[in-house]
Structure 1
Amino acid sequence: MAADNPTADKTMIYMHAVMSEWERDQISKRTKDALAAAKARGVKLGTTGPANLKRNIVQRQKAADAFAAKLAGMIAGFRARGLSQRAMVNELSTIGIRTPKGGEWRLGQLCRLLKRIAAPMTRAPAGTAAPPPRVANPGAAPGKRSLQTRLPAPLIIK
């Protein structure tokens, strides 16, 4: 007896097992074909780290820098108006400006954009940058070990 089909008999259970085995074989074949195609493209299989992904990282960083440069003037205007970060997120959505992937803005995305705009010249080459220093959050409740990332000072344009 099968829990999802109490009326199934021995033959039905056998057929489900056969179809599951066939599906497993198809998945295996597709995976092996995809790995063979990746190997033919020159991807080093079984290795990880920046050396294998560097080309993609550099390309993505350049695209992010270009996107941040396009929005730098608008963000400066938001700051001149004294908008909070949440208000900036709402304003970007209201205006109709989408994220690089075409989605709605979220606060974390805006924070990364602000960080990228504030320090475009201080970025180390791809794969060599150390993570930003972590500092204890002074506003955390006693006994809590909350950490926050130290962000650069806001950009003030006069």
Structure 2
Amino acid sequence: MPSDKRYKSAAALFLGAAVFIIVGIVVLWWDSQQEVVFYSGSYVPLVEDSEIYFGPGPTEVLGWVLALLGVGALGVASGLSLRQLTRFKAWFLIAGLLLAAGGIAALVWDYNQVRTFGWFAYAPLSEAEFAPASMASVMGKLGLVAGTLLASSYLGFRYHSKPNGSAIRG
């Protein structure tokens, strides 16, 4: 009977993960549709050839937190469902923590780089937007998501490998 309880909790975690991931993606999409406001570190208007900060805003951070909570719940539910991998649970934790730390380091490094951009040889279109995405940013986000999934699956493996109360008593 306890295994039925674990499968029900895994199904609830899968559903919760889907909700958090969808809400996080919707918040990130909504944030990407908003008008971009450049911030240079002061309230002085930007001048040509100035340094511009492209770090995450509060809405982007909220979207990523919600999506990562969903990925974490997905990892725990996967750990509950995959019994045959419980002997490798420590490796999942180590690999997940290393990937997440590497992803965070890549994102911090990328957000601290000076960005220069401009139009060459023609005037920009009135409806055109410029959104730079570097490879470090993409790889950092992928590492953070994969690391969160692997590290959180450790919790599911650990919960799954705990002995039942009836086996201890009898």
Question: Do the structures match in fold with TM over 0.5?
Answer: no
TM-score, length basis structure 2? 0.28
Structure number with the higher helix fraction is 2
Which gives a bigger RCO, structure 1 or 2 (Cα 8 Å, sep 6+)? Answer: 2
